[in-house]
Amino acid sequence: MFKRILLITLLAAAAGPAQTVNCLVAVVNGNIITLLDVQVAAEFGLGLAAAEGTDPRLAALEALIDRKVVLDMAREARGLSGEELDAALTGLRREWGDDAFAAKLAKFGLAEKDLEPFLEDRILYERALALRFSQTIPVSLTEVERHYRDSYVPEQTRLGKTAEPLERVADGIESRLREERRMKQTADWVRDLRKRADIQLKKDCLK
């Protein structure tokens, strides 16, 4: 990890002295997160979506910290093939478009391959969560009926729409409740890992 950070830092330093690349934003269980890491994750949309009006680098930093604490624990999620990384790079390039993608790389003096560690951590993080929370989360009929009565019908009324019968929307409501529960369990688990991790923040670096 340190070698990766050092390599990217040196590459960015070669791009121009105006960029601050050797500032440490955080150290997570001994793993370094540099300003460049945060900037790249924010620039390419590889972190969390930032709330409107907030610094996207802060959302990127939170995502990078989450990934490090989870991947420290989830060793079973290790191992990404070259084909998977190539596909992820292709997808990212397609998402931004060739010209914008090339401009973003040039902004930091990076080559495509320099994005692979970011993509690998993101994919392995998502894989670790999927493995841990792969079992179907039970949702009872009572919960579906309650959501239909207390949330779905009032929402449709507010929008000036006619509520569909319960039997037509029950599956969708069940899926939504299951996903909400899975997201809460995931967030709680990651939050607990962060509490037990050794995290040193140096956010002055982001000013």
Condensed to tens digits (0 to 9), the pLDDT of residues 16-52 reads 433 445 689 999 999 999 999 999 999 999 987 767 7
User: Distance (Å, rounded) from C-alpha 95 to C-alpha 100?
Assistant: 10
What is the average pLDDT across 183-191? 93
Which band of pLDDT confidence, cut at 50, 70 and 90, is reported for residue 8?
very low
Whole-prediction pTM: 0.78
Phi/psi for 20 (5° steps) reads -90, 115
Which band of pLDDT confidence, cut at 50, 70 and 90, is reported for residue 15?
very low
Structural tokens at position 33: 């997160």
The helix (run of H) or strand (run of E) holding residue 200 is strand 199-201
Residues 188, 190, 191, 193: what is their CA dihedral angle, to the nearest 10 degrees? 120
What is the average pLDDT across 65-89? 85
**Inter-residue contact 48 to 56 (CB < 8 Å):** no
Q: Which of 30-44, 68-82, 127-141, 151-165 has the lowest mean pLDDT?
A: 68-82
In this prediction, residue 72 carries a pLDDT of 87
R_g of the chain, CA atoms, integer Å: 21
